[in-house]
């Protein structure tokens, strides 16, 4: 197939489908207990220099507890999928976890503004970048989930987004139309936060799924954090509700409020005051360093972090906000 | 002069473009306000789509994120981003609103960087997000933005999202979906559309309180103009009441 045009961006992962199949040939299909602590899961499956992807969308159903743990364990030189990333990007940039970056959306927190520290990091020149769009990265994960080395889509052509991407423009063998070929993306390690999972890794998501179903299939290794563990009998009672099956999953960590300070649909709304604290304190590098010590490096777990920001009372207030009720706020 | 600010005028003007029975994909802020206003006034059957997966919600308030739980509040479906993007690809999305740090005469948008060095930019912005996808596929892409001669640039530092590329038939030839592209540019000073052959931006109407000269003085490239330039209509009392009372009661977007 002729190459009509090619972006200058470097691919940080191998798009070869047979190489990916060789990995998946060795991946366990056994129904085994995968429960472990988040600390152990990150130590076991997140390695310096590898390719990391994070599920959810920005500060929505995003495994923030896992992002903190990755920063706490000082993982470095990773490549990262900056795909709909907002507060997760802010946390990982604070720890300088990555130095290679596929970009769809970075630095910003949507309506909340831009992260001063993440922006500063991206302007140092320390991070090698490759540009994409939200749909490009979704399509790259979809190709990986399909077990093919690329999928053709019709965006980016004619723009600098294409020029600085790793995509290739090809001609359709049926119609002669031009397409941008998106190379498959098989992340080494991904983390997805879900509502419910059993100890084998069967997961239920009560929310938009963003790109997570393809991400789960595309990932060579996958850590699941969940709000609640449920029995396998419950999964088998209603198998139509299973979004991610156990054989995609390597570790299951029960982390209630694991998306805090972000949103978890039907569970809790985001803690906007605390997210704005991040945005403000980042303007002062010294104060930000103390802030990171207090909130990430010097805490043991996500529970300690939550205790620092109002504990269970705050969680119940955020549940009220999410459900638009006053049930918990009125208890005095 | 009626009692409203330019943000309110831009939102109302954007909302009026949205027809009942059509679909619109929106981000946070002014675009969402315009869609909500349209749905609560002249376009009750407007299908609102959030790229992260929220389909046809009954928004109880303005979302903070296009993926937060408000975007699926009493929605018809909570799906995936891949699924909503495929709606765009199939030609099911009629309208969208975008913005950016720079826009040129063909409606190409920059939301990626300022400065020449891509690996070490002078200023880094978020990048495409879904903007390039929206701009590539949406039948009618609109821009709501304040206007000045820096933002309305002779040449963008970077083209994140396609408008009509280099004008003429260059967009069609690039391989992007035929018949899609920029439709309106709504600023604090004027409403622009695009001349059908050259695909260059042209003045359609000037907002109350501004002159054609103001519009040209605050633009970094030469604007074409309709033979008869109209005046942008004032918002009605009903539109302002709904916008202030139901869409943005805390005045997050319309300001104080």
Mutating which of B29, B32, B68 best tests the A interface, going by the most A Cβ atoms within 10 A? B68
Residue A156: which residues within 8 A CB-CB, separation 6 or more? A132, A133, A136, A162, A165, A167, A180, B132, B136
Tell me the CB-side half-sphere exposure of residue B156, using CA atoms within 13 A.
25
Distance from CA of B64 to the nearest CA of A (A): 6
Q: What is the pLDDT of residue A327?
A: 80
Look at residue A232 in the predicted model and tell me its pLDDT. 98
- Distance CA(A271)–CA(B58), nearest Å, equals 23
CA distance A185 to chain B (A): 15
B52:A142 CB<8 A: no
- Count helices and strands in chain B by DSSP H and E runs: 7, 14
**A177/B175 touch (CB, cutoff 8 Å), yes or no:** yes
Please answer yes or no on whether A142 and B161 come within 8 Å at the CB atom: no
Residue with tokens 């959030």: B50
Length of chain B: 256
Q: What whole-number distance in Å separates Cα of residue A114 and Cα of residue B79?
A: 27
Q: Which residues from chain B sit within 8 angstroms of residue A131, using beta carbons?
A: 112, 127-128
Question: Which of A155, A181, A207 is best to mutate for the B interface (most B CBs within 10 A)?
Answer: A155
With CB atoms and an 8 Å threshold, state whether A159 touches B68. no
* Mean pLDDT for all residues in chain A: 97
Residue bearing the bigger pLDDT, A90 or B3: A90
Pairing state between β B113-114 and B123-124? antiparallel
Nearest residue on chain A to B90, judged by CA atoms? A154
Sign (positive or negative) of CA dihedral A31, A32, A38, A42:
negative
pLDDT digits (tens, 9 = 90+) for B171-217: 999 999 999 999 999 999 999 999 999 999 999 999 999 999 999 99
> Contact A158/B175, CB-based, under 8 Å?
yes
Of the pLDDT bands very low, low, confident and very high (cuts 50, 70, 90), residue A105 is very high
| Chain A interface includes B81 (CB < 8 A) | yes
A301 has a pLDDT exceeding 90: yes
CB spacing of A111 vs B65 below 8 angstroms: yes
List average pLDDT for each run of 10 residues in chain B, which is 256 residues long: 87 98 95 97 97 96 94 97 98 97 98 95 96 98 97 98 98 96 98 98 97 98 98 97 95 88
Are B27 and B254 within 8 A, CB to CB?
A: no
Q: In what order do the strands lie in the sheet with A168-171?
A: A5-6, A168-171, A178-183, A150-153
A205-253 pLDDT, tens per residue?
999 999 999 999 999 999 999 999 999 999 999 999 999 999 999 999 9
Partners of residue A196 on adjacent β-strands: A204, A228
Q: What long-range pairs does B122-125 form, CB within 8 A, spacing at least 24?
A: B122/A123, B123/A119, B123/A123, B124/A106, B124/A107, B124/A119, B124/A122, B124/A123, B125/A107, B125/A108, B125/A114, B125/B101
Residue range A246-280, pLDDT digits in tens: 999 999 999 999 999 999 999 999 999 999 999 99
Cα–Cα distance between A7 and A180 in angstroms, integer? Answer: 10
Instruction: Answer yes or no: are the C-beta atoms of A283 and A231 closer than 8 Å.
Output: no
Distance (Å, whole) CA B3 – CA B16: 19
Query: Among residues B169, B217, B170, which one has the least CA distance to residue B190?
Result: B217
CB neighbourhood size of A283 (10 A): 11
Give the span between the Cα atoms of A291 and A114, in whole angstroms. 18
Residue A52 carries which DSSP code? E
B81·A211 Cβ contact <8 A: yes
Please check whether residue B127 touches A, CB under 8 A.
yes
Chain A residue closest in CA terms to B108: A159
> What is this model's ipTM?
0.96
CATH topology of domain B6-247: Glutaconate Coenzyme A-transferase (3.40.1080)
Tell whether B67 is within 8 A of chain A (Cβ): yes
Q: Is B166 a catalytic residue?
A: no
Residues in chain A, how many? 332
Closest listed residue to residue A1, CA positions, set A140, A153, A143, A171? A171
pLDDT tens for A168-190 read 999 999 999 999 999 999 999 99
pLDDT number for residue B1: 46
Taking the C-alpha atoms of residue A321 and residue B98, their distance in angstroms, rounded to an integer, is: 29
- Burial of A266 from C-beta contacts in 10 A (0-12 / 13-18 / 19+): middle
Say if B137 is an interface residue toward chain A (CB within 8 Å).
yes
Helix axes A38-45, A64-72, angle to 10 degrees: 60
Q: Calculate the CA dihedral of residues B16, B21, B26, B28 and round it to 10 degrees.
A: 70
Residue A17 has pLDDT above 70, yes or no: yes
Query: Domain A5-323, what architecture?
Result: 3-Layer(aba) Sandwich (3.40)
d(CA B137, CA B86): 10
Q: Mention every residue, 6+ apart, whose C-beta is less than 8 A from residue A115.
A: A89, A90, A93, A107, A108, A109, A278, A279, A282
What pLDDT band is residue A332 in, cutting at 50, 70 and 90? very low
Report whether pLDDT(A331) > 70: no
């Amino acid at each position: 197939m002729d190459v009509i045009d090619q972006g200058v961006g470097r691919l940080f992962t191998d798009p070869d489908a047979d190489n990916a199949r060789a990995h998946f040939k060795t991946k366990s299909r056994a129904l085994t207990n995968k429960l472990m602590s988040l600390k152990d899961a990150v130590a076991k499956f997140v390695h310096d220099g590898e390719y990391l992807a994070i599920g959810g969308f920005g500060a929505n159903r995003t495994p923030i507890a896992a992002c903190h743990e990755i920063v706490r364990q000082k993982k470095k030189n990773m490549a990262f999928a900056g795909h709909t990333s907002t507060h997760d990007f802010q946390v990982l940039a604070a720890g300088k976890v990555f130095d290679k970056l596929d970009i769809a959306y970075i630095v910003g927190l949507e309506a909340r503004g831009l992260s001063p520290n993440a922006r500063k990091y991206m302007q140092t020149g320390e991070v090698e970048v490759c540009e994409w769009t939200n749909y490009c990265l979704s399509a790259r994960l979809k190709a990986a989930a399909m077990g093919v080395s690329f999928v053709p889509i019709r965006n980016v052509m004619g723009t600098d987004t294409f020029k600085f991407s790793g995509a290739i423009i090809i001609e359709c063998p049926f119609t002669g139309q031009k397409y941008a070929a998106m190379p498959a993306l098989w992340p080494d390690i991904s983390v997805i936060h879900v509502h419910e999972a059993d100890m084998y890794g069967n997961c239920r998501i009560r929310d938009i799924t963003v790109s997570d179903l393809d991400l789960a299939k595309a990932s060579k290794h996958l850590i699941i954090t969940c709000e609640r563990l449920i029995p396998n009998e419950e999964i088998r009672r209603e198998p139509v509700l299973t979004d991610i099956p156990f054989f995609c999953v390597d570790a299951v960590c029960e982390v209630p409020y694991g998306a805090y300070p972000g949103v978890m649909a039907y569970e809790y709304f985001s803690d906007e005051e605390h997210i704005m604290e991040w945005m403000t304190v980042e303007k002062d590098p010294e104060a930000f360093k103390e802030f990171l010590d207090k909130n990430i490096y010097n805490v043991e777990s996500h529970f300690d972090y939550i205790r620092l920001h109002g504990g269970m009372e705050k969680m119940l207030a955020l549940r009220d906000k999410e459900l638009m009720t006053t049930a918990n706020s009125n208890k005095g | 002069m009626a009692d409203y600010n330019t943000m309110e005028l831009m939102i109302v003007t954007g909302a009026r473009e949205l027809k009942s029975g059509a679909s619109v994909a929106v981000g946070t802020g002014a675009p969402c306000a315009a869609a909500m206003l349209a749905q609560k006034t002249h376009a009750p059957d407007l299908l609102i789509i959030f790229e992260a997966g929220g389909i046809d919600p009954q928004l109880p308030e303005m979302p903070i994120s296009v993926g937060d739980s408000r975007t699926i509040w009493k929605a018809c479906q909570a799906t995936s981003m891949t699924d909503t993007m495929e709606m765009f690809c199939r030609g099911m999305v009629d309208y969208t609103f975008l913005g950016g740090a720079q826009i040129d005469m063909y409606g190409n948008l920059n939301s990626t960087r300022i400065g020449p060095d891509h690996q070490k930019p002078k200023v880094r912005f978020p990048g495409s997000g879904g903007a390039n996808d929206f701009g590539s596929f949406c039948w009618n892409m609109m821009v709501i933005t304040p206007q000045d001669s820096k933002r309305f640039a002779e040449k963008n530092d970077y083209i994140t999202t396609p408008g009509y590329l280099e004008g003429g038939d260059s967009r069609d030839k690039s391989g992007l979906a035929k018949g899609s592209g920029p439709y309106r540019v709504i600023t604090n000073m004027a409403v622009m559309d695009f001349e059908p052959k050259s695909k260059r931006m042209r003045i359609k109407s000037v907002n109350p309180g501004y002159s054609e000269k103001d519009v040209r003085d605050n633009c970094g490239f030469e604007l074409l103009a309709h033979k008869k330039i109209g005046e942008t209509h004032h918002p009605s009392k009903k539109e302002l009441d709904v916008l202030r009372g139901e869409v943005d009661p805390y005045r997050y977007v319309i300001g104080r």
